[in-house]
Amino acid sequence: MNLRLELTRFLSLGYVLSSSFMFWMGLSLFTDCHSPIVVVLSGSMEPAFQRGDILFLWNRNEKNNVGDVVVYEVAGKSIPIVHRVLKQHYDRSTGEQLLLTKGDNNNGDDVPLYARGNYYLNKTKDVVGTVKGYIPQLGYVTIWISENKYAKFGLLGLLALSSLISSED
């Protein structure tokens, strides 16, 4: 075992991981979203977005308009929801924008999905961002890995095999 070679590999891995993290944080700051890229996990927005599409978000707009597609999170639920703004109005006491959303492929609005007792989303508190672009179907790899335990183990096995093969050089 060559200590210098192993240290170089470890530092290269650290460089790749830290560069990826810095890119993600920079993109988060630029877009003002804690999650600037999301994957569509359901068919509720078909035909606009399919399951597996990667969405790019922007949260620097002061308000959302009816028809905008937004990604929001509900307190207590970790999965972001991608739906279209159906109605919007402003809270008279605070001046904050309130939004009612609905999935294009759903029959009813999203009120049952909101936090208990809420009939609207608060733009500043609940909305992660507005969809500004997408790449079709590329996120299916993420869905496949997260939903298939064999895919997770297979990917880990490939990584381990790759590191064993490369260490023999």
| Residue 139 identity | G
Residue 68 appears among annotated catalytic residues? no
Domain residue spans in the chain? 1-31, 33-138, 140-169
Name which residue leads in pLDDT, 78 or 85. 85
Summarize pLDDT for 90-134 with one digit per residue, the tens: 999 999 999 999 999 999 999 999 988 999 999 999 999 999 999
- pTM, to two decimals: 0.82
Distances in whole angstroms, Cα of residue 169 to Cα of each of 16, 156, 159, 166: 21, 21, 16, 6
Summarize pLDDT for 18-56 with one digit per residue, the tens: 999 999 999 999 999 999 999 999 999 999 999 999 999
pLDDT of residue 1: 66
The edge-to-edge listing of strands for the beta sheet with 37-39 is 37-39, 54-58, 127-135, 69-72, 81-90, 97-102, 121-122
> What's the per-residue H, E or C state across the chain?
CCHHHHHHHHHHHHHHHHHHHHHHHHHHHHHCCCCCEEECCCCCCCCCCCCCCEEEEECCCCCCCCCCEEEECCCCCCCCEEEEEEEEEECCCCCCEEEEEECCCCCCCCHHHCCCCCCCEECCCCEEEEEEEEECCCCHHHHHHHHCHHHHHHHHHHHHHHHHHHHCC
* Catalytically annotated residue among 19, 89, 104, 110: 110
**33-138, superfamily in CATH?**
Umud Fragment, subunit A (2.10.109.10)
* Catalytically annotated residue among 12, 18, 32, 44: 44
* Catalytically annotated residue among 28, 42, 83, 104: 83
Residue 34 appears among annotated catalytic residues? no
